[in-house]
Structure 1
Amino acid sequence: MRERISSSAWRLIGVAAGLLPAVPVLATDGHVLHGVGSVNQAMGGAGIATSIDAIGSNYNNVSSISFLEKDSVEFGAELFIPDRSFSASTPFASGRVDSSTREAVIPSVGLAYKIDQDWTFGFTALGIGGFGVDYPANLPNASGNFNPLAVPQQFGGFGSIYSNYQLMQITPSIAYRLNRDFSVGVGFNLDWASLAVDPWPATPPNASGYPSGSHAATSWGQGFTVGATYQALSNLALGLSFKSPQWFSDFGWDSQYPNGTPAKFQFQLDYPMIVGGGLSYKPVEDLILAADLKWINYSGTNGFEKKNFAASASGPYVQGFGWENIWTVALGAQYRITPRFTLRAGYNYSDNPIPSDQQFFNVFAPAIVQHHLTLGGGFNFTPALELNLAYYHAFQNDVSGSFISSGGPGYPAMNQPIPGTSVTNRLAENSVSAQVVYRFD
């Protein structure tokens, strides 16, 4: 008889889910985490057809939980360490500023429970994306050795630049096994997000500059996910997954301009639709090879689709992030070396969603890394208890573009590049994580 999930396990799940809004999150495929939990991250994020762990399966393809060998409850934590800087230059000044590290601890929790031979219940609560920087201000000087975008607003720059976007998601799901080889699933996504940006350039300025959005605004969102998994052969599985846009209410701030004038403004920022397909192949009993392909629809997402400046009576303001749609590829391998020890490795590639002509507007959100290498392993202390560890490195990417004119006197027309200027965003990432899996008979 299968062991029931205890009330203590449910309490632990509740505690872990309650911790999620307390932590900042940063991301790797655009602003989307390339993988969730140590098992899925070590596989390069490939998980649409793998059915290896509850966290990765329920996140990547809700139908794949039907093919998990055992029920499980899982807890994970990730230490995410970004390395960010940006440089700016004009004919009169140039300089670089580095962001404070701002490590992030990202918890995750998952559950898969087989109700009967046909129905399986899944649950995840985890951080799924975000971005953030913390750049100091500098002052202009006669030598020209300063970052012209980091001078205070009264000198024509932004001053210190701060952003912190956190995105958490809770997904209960249900999967139904139509027959031995085919499963479908559906999940409901409940989302919570927090957004702080200072200064806030996406609202009209006054004579003193842009207002502060440093007091984080929060928003609730919702969406859904559906998936299908087909066991084409005894050693080959195929999967499809569709994640709807996550529709959020507007973020709103009661703030002030640099001169103390009250400011009240709003911004709509949704989460993009993601469509993916994957396969999992076992050439031999102890080896799993996996590959996923995903498309992320930024150009159709509120907050990301609009770009450049818009004119207003009091001055130009930024309309949105101006991101483009991207493709991502995830490749992973798992090899069970002994009955107790498993080794994993992977690679993840993502298009850069921020074109060169939008780098100026995305100093606040430099989500430009493209290549990730991942490594991890799992150790079974008992047949029921497993510890998994993972590490990944996102290689530094540098992308440059010109300053974009706001149309002021003596400058090119609005939204045209300013000759002789450049801004370069740089980003690299490291991460270590652990995930405990307890499987039920």
Structure 2
Amino acid sequence: MKAYFLKLCFLLFATAAFSQAGHIMQGVGAVNMSMGGAATGQPLDISGAIQWNPASISTFDEKILKLDIGFFFSSPELSSTVPEFDLTGNPTGNFFSGTTEDDRGVSPLPAIAMVWGKEGSRHTFGASAFGISGFGVTFPESTTNPINMPQSMGGFGRIESNYSLLQLGFTYAYEISDKFSIGVQPTFNYATLKLIPNPTASPFNPTFVGYPSTDNSSAFGFGGQLGVYFDSGNGFSAGASYKTKQSFGDFKLDNTYLDSSTGENEFKIDYPGIWSIGLGFSPGQFDLALDYRYVEYENAAGFSSVGWTPTASVAGFGWKNISIVSFGVQFKGVNRLPLRLGYTYSSNPIESDVAFFNVPATAIIKNAFQIGLSYEISDRWAIDGVYHMGFSGKATSGPLLNPLFIGVSPPYGAIPGSEVSYDMTTSMIMVGASYKFIKK
């Protein structure tokens, strides 16, 4: 067998082995998703209003219950290239390249919300349970792709991740006047994490044995959201909100190494703070919505740090702050059948020099398109549906990194002539139903 540049044992030291951890879903529920996630200044349903601007729930004057379930599919591909070396350690001028496809199945996305409003009252209350992040990857072990080679041959072997984040919110809005409202929402979070292998742990236990695998671990977090909402009464509306960083406790990861020895380490991942501003306009049979969001990854634990620790584990993943633009249009010209189109643009938080640290975080979607509709069965009941398709635009790529190379290739030890890249498409079908408790 050829001797590859993988001769330096386990030069593929670490990767952020979770997908979309901290990635911002562009919407919550079928209606909001079909509008591209735009709702800060145009609350068409209670789920989008609660998620993006607590003040905007003041527009709902009934008691409403909303349930949604989405089925998320992704097709990421992971590619890597390394130079070949002969048995004496000299480069041959050839390269070893390969690609691995994800074989993960469907991921569910649940959402439930309820609002208590009353005509004539200045007070509106809401409660919600949203799955706002919950994805993973499964890249099987391969002898044709350097990064998925068995750990005994210098690769990572099978790369698998599972991350989910459930957020509970309790919302209160107060109408200062007929046109202006304010809102507040404390949030409580529960997250789970599983990593195979675990790059946040040292590969030494106490000698070099490679990176371990972990069982499921969980952590609790908390935060809040503040919002303001303005409705001119003649079709124009606007809103702004700030969802604070969701601060989590440490994940306590129980590790099992390749030699069956065990260990433990802790790792902290926060959900980033989000600024949102939005505009709405409703001329005639149309509702238009436009949102802009600024996501503060650089202030969130797990993302703000970057590079290697002294024991060759990953200190953090080095994500940059990003911007998200959402736009949606609803047409109400068909009786009881509103139709919607939505678009979402997101910038990439991962720069090329740290792409290696984020290998399985493949769900970085640049452009997303949505089409949806509702059917108003009666004054009480409505059902909703949306289809989503997302594209990464172009592959995220960068050099493979090795802490042993930091002296000659600072700051992260880029390996000359190497490359790792990943891209993907996503699709999702979501259905929902809402019920209004209307008094006879």
TM-score (norm 2): 0.89
Relative to structure 2, which stretch is displaced further, 340-349 or 48-57? 48-57
Q: Where does 1:143-158 land on structure 2 (aligned, <5 Å)?
A: 146-158=144-156
Q: Where does 1:314-353 land on structure 2 (aligned, <5 Å)?
A: 316-353=312-349
Mapped contact 1:405–1:412 kept (Cα < 8 A): no
1:80 aligns with 2:72: yes
1:238 aligns with 2:238: yes
Q: Distance in 2 between the 1:180 and 1:410 partners?
A: 65
Q: Distance in 2 between the 1:349 and 1:406 partners?
A: 35
Name the SS for the 1:382 alignment partner. Answer: coil
Please state how far the C-alpha of 1:338 moved relative to its aligned partner.
2.5
Q: Where does 1:293-304 land on structure 2 (aligned, <5 Å)?
A: 293-304=292-303
Of 107, 110, 131, the match for 2:110: 107
Q: Where does 1:12-411 land on structure 2 (aligned, <5 Å)?
A: 31-92=23-84, 93-114=96-117, 117-139=121-143, 146-206=144-204, 207-213=208-214, 215-284=215-284, 286-312=285-311, 316-397=312-393, 398-407=395-404
Mapped contact 2:407–2:413 kept (Cα < 8 A): no
Please state how far the C-alpha of 1:411 moved relative to its aligned partner.
6.9
Mapped contact 2:35–2:327 kept (Cα < 8 A): yes
Q: Distance in 1 between the 2:247 and 2:40 partners?
A: 23
Q: Distance in 2 between the 1:105 and 1:236 partners?
A: 35
Q: Distance in 2 between the 1:408 and 1:333 partners?
A: 52
Q: Give the structure 1 partner of residue 414 of structure 2.
A: 417
Name the SS for the 1:66 alignment partner. Answer: helix
Aligned amino acid, residue 302 of structure 1: A
Q: Distance in 1 between the 2:282 and 2:20 partners?
A: 30
Q: Distance in 2 between the 1:357 and 1:263 partners?
A: 30
Mapped contact 1:411–1:418 kept (Cα < 8 A): no
Q: Give the structure 2 partner of residue 10 of structure 1.
A: none
Q: How many aligned positions are there?
A: 405
Please state how far the C-alpha of 1:355 moved relative to its aligned partner.
0.9
Mapped contact 2:406–2:412 kept (Cα < 8 A): no
Name the SS for the 1:65 alignment partner. Answer: helix
Aligned amino acid, residue 94 of structure 1: S
Name the SS for the 2:50 alignment partner. Answer: helix
Please state how far the C-alpha of 1:208 moved relative to its aligned partner.
1.0
Aligned amino acid, residue 184 of structure 1: I
Aligned amino acid, residue 428 of structure 1: T
Name the SS for the 1:345 alignment partner. Answer: strand
Q: Distance in 1 between the 2:406 and 2:437 partners?
A: 70
Relative to structure 2, which stretch is displaced further, 334-343 or 263-272? 334-343
TM-score (norm 1): 0.88
Q: Distance in 1 between the 2:337 and 2:20 partners?
A: 29
Q: Distance in 2 between the 1:411 and 1:153 partners?
A: 25
CA 411–152 in structure 1, closer or farther in 2 if over 3 Å, else same? farther
> Please, which runs of 5 or more residues in structure 1 have no aligned partner?
1-24, 140-145
Mapped contact 2:19–2:362 kept (Cα < 8 A): no
Mapped contact 2:129–2:167 kept (Cα < 8 A): yes
Q: Distance in 2 between the 1:311 and 1:421 partners?
A: 23
Q: Give the structure 2 partner of residue 143 of structure 1.
A: none
Name the SS for the 2:226 alignment partner. Answer: strand
Mapped contact 2:236–2:281 kept (Cα < 8 A): yes
CA 178–418 in structure 1, closer or farther in 2 if over 3 Å, else same? same
Q: Distance in 1 between the 2:358 and 2:250 partners?
A: 20
Name the SS for the 1:137 alignment partner. Answer: coil
Name the SS for the 2:242 alignment partner. Answer: strand
> Please, which runs of 5 or more residues in structure 2 have no aligned partner?
1-17, 85-95
Aligned amino acid, residue 100 of structure 1: D
Mapped contact 1:154–1:208 kept (Cα < 8 A): no
Relative to structure 2, which stretch is displaced further, 76-85 or 391-400? 391-400
CA 409–48 in structure 1, closer or farther in 2 if over 3 Å, else same? closer
Deviation readout 1:195-224 (Å, 9 max, x if unpaired): 1111111121111111112x1100111100
Mapped contact 2:185–2:225 kept (Cα < 8 A): yes
Name the SS for the 2:349 alignment partner. Answer: coil
Mapped contact 2:237–2:279 kept (Cα < 8 A): yes
Name the SS for the 1:162 alignment partner. Answer: strand
Q: Distance in 2 between the 1:259 and 1:174 partners?
A: 54
CA 179–413 in structure 1, closer or farther in 2 if over 3 Å, else same? closer
Aligned amino acid, residue 367 of structure 2: H
Please state how far the C-alpha of 1:317 moved relative to its aligned partner.
1.4
Q: Distance in 1 between the 2:302 and 2:45 partners?
A: 33
Q: Distance in 2 between the 1:411 and 1:262 partners?
A: 34
Name the SS for the 2:283 alignment partner. Answer: strand
Name the SS for the 2:58 alignment partner. Answer: helix
**How many percent identity over aligned positions?**
32
Name the SS for the 1:283 alignment partner. Answer: coil
Please state how far the C-alpha of 1:47 moved relative to its aligned partner.
0.7
Q: Distance in 1 between the 2:82 and 2:292 partners?
A: 40
Q: Distance in 2 between the 1:409 and 1:339 partners?
A: 65
